[in-house]
Structures are given as structure tokens and as C-alpha cells.
Structure 1
Amino acid sequence: MSKKLLFVADPLDGFKTYKDSTFAMMREAAARGHALLACEQRDLRWLRGGRVSATAREIVLTGHTGRPGHDVHDWYRAGEPQAVALADVDAVLMRKDPPFDSEYFYATHLLEQAEREGARVFNRARALRDHPEKLAILEFPEFISPTLVTRDAADVRAFHAEHRDVILKPLDGMGGMGIFRVREDGLNLGSIIETLNRFGSSTLMVQRFLPEIDKGDKRILVIGGEPVPYSLARIPQGGEVRGNLAAGGRGVAQPLTRRDREIAEALGPVLAARGLLLVGLDVIGDCLTEINVTSPTCFQEITQQTGWDVAHRFIDALEQALA
């Protein structure tokens, strides 16, 4: 049965259609006859006496999808803007890319109000708030490397003195932005701490460096509590320490290892029960490094390299959740 799906996303004209996971979701949903609407986060509103609504446009895909490395700009046709109550569509898919800033935080409150009015939101608004992507790993210490969260410079120096080779990162970074490696010589450690903690006013994360990064920072997708059987190993290039695709990493799809599956099968049901239909686990070597819930990606890269259709599985899970 056809459903009406509202995607809350970044501007459609900016989509890199050859690799965008939201586009892959839309294409699969449209192929099954579902109606697509789209809006931006800024289009959400609530007025006393009414319900949470959005100024949205119905979109029809043209079939122009681009090829690897080449996005297209005429991939959709859009109808006239219309006010749509979120509770009147069958599903709201929150696909706004990070960062998780104040405006994203406020949007989750509007989405949660929409849920109280009967809307079905994926991922659930409260779950988005409760799982900051860097800090969510603290709930699962058995799967992570030595990790410190602090704003105190002395704490960072003591952690470096113990582990000798560390990674420092801001809690609100994305795409590898703001990540630093400090080796045993401690070169520039003080300057890096000042940059990240803003002289003690901001919290940062420090982790022991994992040399397995040279084999890739693996993105493991978990859909409806079950792992996709392939990860995308994002391998650093050109002397970089960051494997993120946005930082120039090369994505190589590969079957899950036994450890990958152990982590995914332990976390998957727990996170799914909290309303997280789609999760992206980041794993380096045998260690969990992040839990991505805002707008997990890598659908198209995995599908193109393995033939395993990630978007098909996601829409299956969405339909099951709506049944």
C-alpha cells in the first residue's frame, strides 16, 4: 500500500546523487509507489491550537541519477509549496546532515511534539537527542579503546603521557573536521588542546591511536537492529590520519569481520528498541569509535561495490515499522 513519506533534509539541489544515501532511499521508495515530500529543517513550525507542520513540496523523480563521481541537478521535479501537518503523513524521515547544533536540537523538540500528535518519525526525535554521535559510545565501554572526555588540559596531558600516541577530536565535529593526532613526542599538544577546548571552555574527546586505521575506518550500517553484511572501510589517503570520505578517504566495501558482527549484534537490538531504525557504527580494528544516528550514509558505495541493495533493505524495514 502506497505511503506518504516526508523527508526533512538539506536543500535538494545540493544532493550528490551519485552517492547520497537519502537519494537512494527516495529512489527505492518511489520505485515501490510511495509518494515523496521534502522540506528543510527551517520549514518546521508549530502554532498554539495547531499541530507541528512543515512547508513541504511533493517531489517526483525524473530518473536522472548521475554516475559515480557525477551528480545531476535535474533529478527531481517539485510541486508547489504546501503546509503539511507531520501527523498527516505516514512517515517523517529526519535526514538533516550534521552538525548537531542548536537548531538541530530545537528541531528534535518540534519532531517530538509531532510524535505526540501522532507522527511517525525515523529516527525518533528523543533517540536523536539521547545519542550524540561521539559520546554515545560511552554506554558500551567493552567495545571501545581507551577514551577520555574532558575540558581539562591536565587530564589530556596525563592521558597522552600514559598512551603516548593519541587522537584528539571535538565533540561536535563531522566528516573528520578538527581531528588531530599527537605522537609520543607531544609536538603541538598544548596548541591543539587550546584549539579544541578553547582554553577550558569546551569539552573534547581523546582516544588512544589505533594503528589499524591504515586498513580503514569501517562504517557498519544497522537497519532495524540487524547489520548490513558489508561495511565500507574508509581508508586514509596521502598521509592523512582521517579515513572519512569527506576528508579524501577511499571507500572499500568488505564483508563484516567476526568482531564487526559481534559489536553490531550487541548494539543493534538495543538501539532499535529506542527508535533508531538506522544506525551507522564506526569501527577501527576491533574498537567502536562512534555511533552515527543523525544521517548515516554509505548506502550507495556498499551497493555499487557488492550488489547488496542497502536502500531496498532500509525501505523494507521502514514498511515493516509502518505496518
Structure 2
Amino acid sequence: MNVCFIMYPWEEMNPHPENDSTLAMIHEFVKRGHGVAITTPANLTIRDSVAYSFSRVINRQEKISNSLKSFHKHATFYDEMLPLAGFDAVVLRSNPPLDMIMLNFLDSVKDDVFIMNDLDGIRRANNKLYTAVFEDDNNEIIPRTHVTKNKEYLKQTIKEGPDKMILKPLNGYGGSGVILIEKRAMLSINSLLDFYIDNNDGTSNYVILQDYIEGAEKGDVRILMLNGKPIGAMKRVPGDEDHRSNVSAGGTVQKHSLTNHEKELCRRIGPKLIKDGLYFVGIDVINGMLVEVNVMSPGGITYMNKVYKTRVQEKIIDFVEDKVIERVNAFERRSKLRKHVNEA
């Protein structure tokens, strides 16, 4: 099987490649003897109406190190311009914000190759608005949330809302731009909203205003979902100098067993994720409340592996292999049936 990863540059995994979830997935594919090529959205191209990528193909090795850091350091590549439809699977692992042109390139090959995740699903779910698709009229699993550019509406909502709320940019990721605001700091709200919403070119950005969830100061739970079911979870605890629990913001990781409420949350959202073709996602949960669905490049694999002494990536690669086999078998079956009809 040949797989193409559309991702960030290989060099950007430094200085801690052993913590990179994408590298863990690539490593597992290579260990199983599959061919792996990597590329970036900027390296997609069209030649004679066919989608290609300027790819770096990992040279096959007789012995693969079990260490991600060593594997990353010693991997060698050769460069090749390859047709995307020639791969068995394409795995999207590029960081937000979503590159819509990248999806346009992939639209031309989505019937020829298995893509994780589904392109239309990513279009729908690539930002923090996606949680609104899950019906929750009584706010049992999703906190009260507002998304807007209207500063007056935001200020009024803050005045009328609870003492604490969370403000964050719609297209942020990795905990970037997430701040805690309090009513007692209303004198600073104008400047904060100006900073978050206004751009120098006259355009503006959407922001999310969300009720603060009690217990958020103790951290959140990252749950990895595969084909609508949880395959791993971890507790992320904020550092001493930051309210955010993201590891990239200084948070630490602890073991976590899903509560009954969290299991029910996963059961409620799983069917919709599958329907939208969002096979591999990361969800962030605080005190049983869903705050975010990550569909672009969900992380946490390596941290879960460390605290649980497991290999989460094996389940993911098993799933991709099964999907590719399903497509191959379906194609062969259709070919036989068509041959029978043609020869009748």
C-alpha cells in the first residue's frame, strides 16, 4: 500500500519529534512495509488536468528504529512528482487554518483514493462552529456559545452573562488566543475586542464567546475518536503560569478514564462524525462539556502512548488498511459484474 501525507514540513517536527502524532502514524506505516510519501499543501500541482504532488518519498529501510526521534533523524528521502490518484490513501495532517485550494486539488481524486478525513466533512467541521451541529437544546453536552464579529453584542452578552467567560478566535488552534475574561475587567473589553476582531486592512475576524465551565482551571480531556468511537483519552492540566491546558501552552498530561457522561457524549456525537466522513478526530471536553472538535490534525497520540504504555497509532493504521481493502474489493467486484454484463 502507498500512502501520501499532506502535512507540515518534516523539519518542523523538531526539536521534539518524539511528541509528534503525525510522525507516529508515518512510522507505523513504514514499519508495516507500506510506501510513504510526504508533501505540503503548497506542493500540490496540476499537470495535464491531473492532480500531482511534488513529494518526498521515504526510502525503504531494512531495519526501522522503534524510537520516533531516531526514525525522524535518520529517515532519508528521494524527490518525485507523483499523481495523487496513484496512492491508495491520502492522510491530511496539515495545521489550521484550512487551505481551501488544497481541498480543490483533492476533489479531483476523492473517488480514486481513500482520504482521511472526508473533504466535505472537513469543509463543514474545520472550525469551532461545528459543535453547533450536535443537537443540545438544554446545554447538556455543549456550553452556551456565541460566535460573532459584532462588538456591541459581545459587550452586552458579557455584561448579562456569568462572571467568567472564555474568548477565543474562531480559527485559532493549539490553545492560541484563548483568554479568560471577567466582568470586573469590563474596562479592558473594548481594547480586547478591537485586538481580536479588527485587522489592519479593514477586514474583521469572528470570535467565540463561551460560558466558562466550572472546573476548567483543573484542565480538560482530549479524546481521540476513530470511526465514531473513542480509542484513547488523556487529561491535560494547565501549568502554573497559564490557564490553558494545551501541552503546547505548557500543560502536562495525566491518565484519564472516561466517565459515564463522557462515554454518553461520545455515543451522541459519533454517528454524526461518521456520517460526515470525519473518521479520525480529537475532541476537547471540560467537565463533561464538548468545547471543540479537531478534524485537521488531531494530536495526543504520543502522549497517550507514554502514559498508558500503548500504541494508539496501530488502531488508526488498521482502520486505513481496512478502508483501502474495502475500496479494492468493491472495485474488483464491480469490474467482474461489468465484465459479465459486457459479455452477455
TM-score scaled by length of structure 1: 0.91
Aligned to 1:76: 75
2:192 corresponds to which letter in structure 1?
Answer: I
Q: Aligned to 2:102, what secondary structure does the other structure show?
A: helix
Which residue identity does 2:12 align to in structure 1?
G
More helix by share: 2
The aligned counterpart of 1:293 is 295
Amino acid at match of 1:159: T
- 8 Å contact 2:45–2:53 — kept in the other structure? yes
More displaced 10-residue stretch of structure 1: 255-264 or 192-201: 192-201
Q: Pick closer, same or farther for the CA change 1:89–1:75 going to 2, 3 Å.
A: same
Counterpart CA distance in 1 for 2:74 and 2:307 is: 23
Deviations 1:297-320 (A, max 9, x none): 100110111123210110111111
Deviations 1:177-217 (A, max 9, x none): 11121113034112111111118832111001113222322
Counterpart position of 1:140: 134
Task: Provide the residue aligned with 2:115 in structure 1.
Answer: 121
Of residues 281-290 and 303-312 in structure 1, the stretch that sits farther from structure 2 once superposed is: 303-312
Q: Greater CA deviation, 277-286 or 258-267?
A: 258-267
**Contact in 1 for aligned 2:114/2:323 (Cα 8 Å):** no
Distance 2:153 2:67 in 1: 49
Task: Tell me the equivalent position of 2:50.
Answer: 51
Matched, 1:202 2:197: no
CA–CA distance in structure 2, aligned partners of residues 236 and 207 of structure 1: 19
4+ long deviations beyond 3 Å: 60-67, 70-73
Q: How does 1:170-319 map to 2 (within 5 A)?
A: 170-187=169-186, 188-198=188-198, 201-228=204-231, 230-319=232-321
Matched, 1:155 2:153: yes
Structure 2 residue 130 is matched with structure 1 residue 131? no
Superimposed CA distance per residue, residues 51-107 of structure 1 (whole angstroms, 9 cap, x where no aligned partner): 11101122046745657xx7875241112x11111111100111112232xxx1110
CA distance in 2, matches of 1:201, 1:17: 35
Superposition TM-score, scaled by structure 2 size: 0.85
Q: What SS is found at the alignment partner of 2:209?
A: strand
Q: 1:133 to 1:147 in 2, by over 3 A?
A: same
SS at match of 1:233: strand
Rounded Cα–Cα distance in structure 2 between residues aligned with 1:150 and 1:207: 11
Cα distance between partner residues in 1 of 2:107 and 2:265 = 29
How far the C-alpha of 1:174 sits from its partner, in A, is: 1.3
For 1:260 and 1:77, how far apart are their aligned partners in 2? 42
Q: Secondary structure at the match of 1:196?
A: helix
Tell me, in whole angstroms, the C-alpha distance in 2 between the residues paired with 1:33 and 1:190: 57
Matches within 5 A, 1:57-96: 57-60=56-59, 63-64=64-65, 74-79=73-78, 81-96=79-94
Does the residue aligned with 2:225 lie in a helix, a strand or coil? strand
**Structure 1 residues 141, 209: closer, same or farther in 2, change over 3 A?**
farther
Aligned residue identity for 1:84: L
Cα distance in 2 for partners of 1:119, 1:18 equals: 29
Runs (5+) with no aligned partner, structure 1: none
CA distance in 1, matches of 2:278, 2:261: 22
Query: Once the two structures are aligned, what percentage of the paired residues are identical?
Result: 27
| 1:215-236 CA-partner distances (Å, limit 9, x unpaired) | 32211100122111x4122111
The 8 Å contact of residues 226 and 264 in structure 1, kept in 2 or not, is answered as: yes
Is the 2:235–2:253 Cα contact (8 Å) retained in structure 1? yes
* Counterpart pick for 2:101 among 76, 101, 106: 106
Report the Cα offset of residue 156 of structure 1. Answer: 1.1
- In the aligned structure 1, how far is the partner of 2:252 from the partner of 2:50? 44
Q: Distance in 1 between matches of 2:262 and 2:75?
A: 37
SS in 2 for 1:128: helix
* Separation (CA, whole Å) in 2 of partners of 1:316 and 1:180: 39
Alignment match, 1:40: 40
Distance, in Å, in 1 between the alignment partners of 2:81 and 2:4 is 12
Q: Which has the larger radius of gyration?
A: 2
- Cα distance in 1 for partners of 2:293, 2:30 equals 29
How far does the alpha carbon of each residue in 1:232-286 deviate from its partner, in whole angstroms, 9 at most, with x for none? 2211111422111111111223111112211112212221222212011111111
* Residue 338 of structure 2: aligned partner: none
Conserved? CA contact 2:31–2:64, under 8 Å? no
Asked whether the 8 Å contact 2:44–2:54 carries over to 1, the reply is: yes
